[in-house]
Amino acid sequence: MSIDAFILAGGNSSRMGFDKASLTLDGVAVVDRIINALSAVAENVYIAGGEGELSGVKRIPDVVGIGSDRSSLSGLYSSLKHARSNWIAVAACDMPFLTRGLFEKLASKCDDVHAAVIPRDRGGFVQPLCGLYRVEVCIDACLEAIERSDRSVQNMLRRIDTRWVEFDEIADLPGSERFFSNLNTPADIAAAEAIIRTVK
């Protein structure tokens, strides 16, 4: 099984006031933290969305025709189109606490039956911006959703054979209680900085 990895960085960051892909925590770029996590399962890591290189990682171009669409589904579709692998691993650019162990666990759930492997958080909520997608199936499913003007990744996942990874299956991994914390506001950044200082 081959995997390419993509960091989804195409959102508007309206609540933050600047590009979240450029965030740093405790002097380390959040993107670098995510690259390290994704590198556990993927040899090639790219950034989907935005312009220019970031942390030395190439940004892939938006797919022609949907470049003005900055939704997560658009970023996912662009990633699937760019992939040269059977599967892709994706992570949102504002999730600093993802780990190598998490992606190794998710990748171990990939098989020939399911088209996506997606975790749920402690509250049971689906986390579609941290998961693995089988290219052959998901590229068509994404395009169909875009053509219907349905930009919900969760809706797309319900239309394919998705392996939902319950939180109990990943709860024993170090840092699991923080995996899906994201950075939407300056207060979120301050809280994440405090966590990093305490776990050093």
Per-residue H/E/C for 151-171:
CCHHHHHHCCCEEEECHHHCC
**Band of residue 62 on the pLDDT scale cut at 50, 70, 90:** low
Alpha carbon separation from 177 to 21, 22, 122, 173 (Å, rounded): 23, 24, 7, 9
pLDDT digits (tens, 9 = 90+) for 168-189: 999 999 999 999 999 988 898 8
**Band of residue 124 on the pLDDT scale cut at 50, 70, 90:** very high
Helix (H, G, I), strand (E, B) or coil at 141: helix
- Write down the mean pLDDT value for the chain: 87
pLDDT at residue number 184: 87
**Band of residue 17 on the pLDDT scale cut at 50, 70, 90:** low
**Is residue 70 predicted with pLDDT exceeding 70?**
no
Backbone angles phi, psi at 75, to 5 degrees: -65, -40
pLDDT digits (tens, 9 = 90+) for 103-117: 999 999 999 999 999
Residues 166/171/177/181 CA torsion (nearest 10 deg): -40
| Domains, the chain, ordered by start | 3-199 (3.90.550.10)
